[in-house]
Structure 1
């Protein structure tokens, strides 16, 4: 966002404070996690073969058991790598029984847990044979199934593009409508692996028309495993950047909405939420398309799911929705999202708390009524301040954005609430950070707070002596240190804040006030420790929205 590149934020508005996800800053799906979820292999014990063995291949010699198979703890006594030339011959034989058995042998070799011999299979030119058997008119169901399974496991490796080169996408797409449920499911799995490889291959799968037959299988799955695999494959068609155009994915939205509303299966919910998060990640048209599918309430419902694997993509999807305009944000607020936020900020998973703070920072970047809705949600601001002061650094940074947006976009009473809840000390602590952007965010919040203090906005409840709290937070000392900061922007901001709000006149006023109050043995304020220990809620009854 251009506003985040500016030196000063003299005027704060919702669009300038609302943030899109920055790929280098906030990533839940780290690359290893991405790889493990975007492409999956099917192990040999996942299915029962239904065609009896027609050929008994001889046992392998000592050389065969050393080519990455015995090391993987699989296939001893079964097909071996040196059987591949024989398999290739039988796959060309025209004898259906021999073709099925040979294809099954290749599939079993590719289904070992570790180091499947993909290169050896490719060296025997078996890949085009697998595609040809899959695409042959009148091919037996079991032959198609074994060929699709073998292709699935090749597609789960670094050789995915070889499937595309040999023309596997069209027959895999066509067989999504096979009379055999097993074949349909296996082809969906294979296409999911192709789509998960890279955006280029994902787009090729979409261009070949795989989306609509995949959606048909989601709407009328033959089994729970088929539903899981089809939704997972669907999520891979939605993920990756550059993104598919939203119009290409629009037919998937009502189907995803139906799964979200009706399914109780954690895997289905997880992949459905990821798909919605991918589609909604972007401009207002993408966000509106997702909201038009009427998913906001069901997403909010799943914020309380007991499994983090479900909650994580749900928070991400909702976070994307509130990164749009005020109307988009209001739809999420109206769905009841804010009431779930305090419990999410107590979640043991760091990434859930981080994503929740990011979501809240964008709500806080909305209009005054939306800031007020956040501020008046019981226990929410206090939970954010706890994260800003006590959580892991990645979470603290996101919580700082929430506070800064409330301070700069809220009313004077919202600022007083922050101060009464003890915001000054953790904000001041952030000024020692190594991250320049975090310091800027903290300075934005502090300047907004000092401006309220300077203009004398009356308190709606209680008493709060800003000058004493500022002193307890060591703010002046930290601002003076920032005058030696390597960043010219930070140095200039620190100087301006000291001159405008904490100059000599203010220091003398503070000294006189402290001398009078200590001399009289009485206080007209609460200390930071007293504020933090107070259990009394902030009264917003007199707030102007």
Structure 2
């Protein structure tokens, strides 16, 4: 049997994280509401409700193609597949109207509610054509239809989604949202000036106001309006980082000034000094802490940007190679086909006001080893001015990211996070906000999770989204926070520093269970951290809300509430006392006695953790609340882990009882008697035959220490030693025994 110290260490680890941290989280992941592309039925239906299936007949006539949709609702889906060759022919034609109508019919075909013919469309070889249409910057209606088609293809299985990615659609979707490699460009002069002005006004207000009343988070949000993505992330986290700094203020600010953040130089002189003069040392240190963290990660960000740029170059080269193989004209061809919309430098007519950014041609330089040393034949797109196109691009990125961790990471590596965040910061359109929040959630989810530094910039955006009035936005934002908080304590610290805890606690009592569930998951993840992290949740007022959730109508919420409480009772005695003071343990014990088994398991952990780390008085309180009987009842279940949890709790209770017995000079252990009254002794004895070694050892230990057997041999010895009893082995008298005369 292992030593006590080893057992205690293992027990503490298990109690803090649950039965097994990985297993428990895996079970929670499986039970979670999966906000992936396949489960967004309602949103997909809104786009598909107006869609129909084309009627029989093959034609490339624009009018005939436009009339197909009028009869699609009454034609079986198998007839739709027969129209794919005709639609493909129209799609590849030079007639702009035929291209649009065919694309629209493909969109309707792929928007059938049940079993859309995604594979048939892919096998027709038309996906590259739709990707090409994404670049038709002068035809937003065609862009929109093509984006919709590709979005629906990406909503299929992994192989179908892979086709969209391999045909080069991913970087184009990113460009449609934020423009060509905009995350690689230096800040514009007006952005720098806006930053300076905003920072000045921000500190002016701060220095004129009592520091106890200043909301740094609010001011950082105002400042963020004019900043680049990295500085947005930095300032949005400023408020939460104020208490973190323990470093030399001026040294860090000097480093900040020296290293590429000239936008913040105005904070280096008299404004910082004014903060110090007014006793704002802690707040100024907080600014230094954020700046220092930003500088530490800056090189990593730059490396990621170079990788993103190279990836776009590689994908562009692959697409051009595939397009050349399909088109067939020689390298000397310079004239554009009739009716084409190629840009002027390709032999076509380009829009007069559309800037062209050429990869690898001087305007943007590729890193060493980048594929493609000459200008591509088609321009890299700018940000689409059309809301519908941008929204469809957001949706497509969400579908791709939601397919698998590999594609999720590819979207992140392609620079997809910041454009989505930009959309969320700028848009007021409800459907856009919903789709972008869902996409952001997909970028944060999955097992294994994405590298935290890739997605942590989203914390500031999510901190704003959880104040939305829209239920769907709230739901997806809370799920994203639950994904980001699921992991090591460093991740939990970052989530706490984003300033979301109090709002998450408020959302525990939201009117919709769809919001309550992910908010509870995020809160529960945070309290898996250390005692200080758990205390943040307690100080945010979580316990009264958890008390109400213990009687929630939804079983899953009751279970998650018990799991959250179990991690709180795994804390220190002060935290256990807060749980007691808020009246949470009696309803937990009630669930331990009456609920379904999966809830009983979490309730058992909550009680067992409290007995493990609680004071003798707290353990006695649990006994007074009648916790022994439901713990004894768990000794006959088939789950060895839960039997072990119950035995651990009973052993802790017996130890407190034995100490009380010795202190008060009692004849017996009062809690051992209660366990016997609950029929616990025969159940513990039966566990000596349990095949699980850990259960057997725990049962043996309890029996030997607290329920010792009477020494029957000793009693027999005492009886034999009585002089009035027969004595075996007595000496034979001289002359032997005399049996009568």
Name 1:154's counterpart in structure 2. Answer: 153
Q: How many residues align?
A: 482
- Do 1:118 and 1:154's aligned partners in 2 also have CA atoms closer than 8 Å? yes
Question: Could you tell me which of 390, 412, 420 is aligned with 1:184?
Answer: 390
Q: Cα–Cα, structure 1 residues 345 and 271, in superposed 2: closer, same or farther, change >3 Å? A: same
Question: Could you tell me which of 351, 358, 367 is aligned with 2:563?
Answer: 358
Q: Cα–Cα, structure 1 residues 99 and 392, in superposed 2: closer, same or farther, change >3 Å? A: same
**What is the deviation of 1:25?**
3.6
> How far, CA to CA, are the matches of 1:387 and 1:488 in structure 2?
29
**What is the deviation of 1:353?**
1.2
1:452 equivalenced with 2:656 (yes/no): yes
- Do 1:14 and 1:366's aligned partners in 2 also have CA atoms closer than 8 Å? no
| Segment drifting more, 368-377 vs 108-117 | 368-377
1:409 equivalenced with 2:613 (yes/no): yes
- Do 1:134 and 1:147's aligned partners in 2 also have CA atoms closer than 8 Å? yes
Q: State the Cα deviation string for residues 271-291 of structure 1 (Å, max 9, x = none).
A: 000000111111111111111
Question: Could you tell me which of 55, 63, 73 is aligned with 2:63?
Answer: 55
Q: State the Cα deviation string for residues 387-416 of structure 1 (Å, max 9, x = none).
A: 111111111111100000000001001101
| Equivalent runs, 1:140-539 vs 2, <5 Å | 140-158=139-157, 159-176=160-177, 177-260=383-466, 262-378=467-583, 380-456=584-660, 465-504=670-709
> How far, CA to CA, are the matches of 1:418 and 1:393 in structure 2?
21
Name 2:105's counterpart in structure 1. Answer: 105
Name 1:29's counterpart in structure 2. Answer: 31
- Do 2:37 and 2:399's aligned partners in 1 also have CA atoms closer than 8 Å? no
- Do 1:42 and 1:152's aligned partners in 2 also have CA atoms closer than 8 Å? no
**What is the deviation of 1:491?**
1.5
| Equivalent runs, 1:114-129 vs 2, <5 Å | 114-129=114-129
- Do 1:75 and 1:108's aligned partners in 2 also have CA atoms closer than 8 Å? no
- Do 1:155 and 1:190's aligned partners in 2 also have CA atoms closer than 8 Å? yes
> How far, CA to CA, are the matches of 2:51 and 2:122 in structure 1?
25
> How far, CA to CA, are the matches of 2:557 and 2:147 in structure 1?
37
**What is the deviation of 1:348?**
1.7
> How far, CA to CA, are the matches of 1:178 and 1:17 in structure 2?
52
Q: State the Cα deviation string for residues 133-158 of structure 1 (Å, max 9, x = none).
A: 1123x341110110011111111111
> How far, CA to CA, are the matches of 2:542 and 2:639 in structure 1?
30
**What is the deviation of 1:38?**
7.0
| Segment drifting more, 93-102 vs 21-30 | 21-30
Q: Cα–Cα, structure 1 residues 129 and 42, in superposed 2: closer, same or farther, change >3 Å? A: farther
Q: Cα–Cα, structure 1 residues 329 and 243, in superposed 2: closer, same or farther, change >3 Å? A: same
**What is the deviation of 1:34?**
5.7
User: For structure 1, which runs of at least 5 residues remain unmatched after alignment?
Assistant: 507-545
**What is the deviation of 1:46?**
5.7
- Do 2:36 and 2:399's aligned partners in 1 also have CA atoms closer than 8 Å? no
> How far, CA to CA, are the matches of 1:326 and 1:348 in structure 2?
30
| Segment drifting more, 264-273 vs 8-17 | 8-17
**What is the deviation of 1:42?**
5.4
Q: Cα–Cα, structure 1 residues 327 and 397, in superposed 2: closer, same or farther, change >3 Å? A: same
User: For structure 2, which runs of at least 5 residues remain unmatched after alignment?
Assistant: 53-60, 178-382, 712-741
- Do 1:79 and 1:105's aligned partners in 2 also have CA atoms closer than 8 Å? no
Q: CA RMSD in A?
A: 2.9
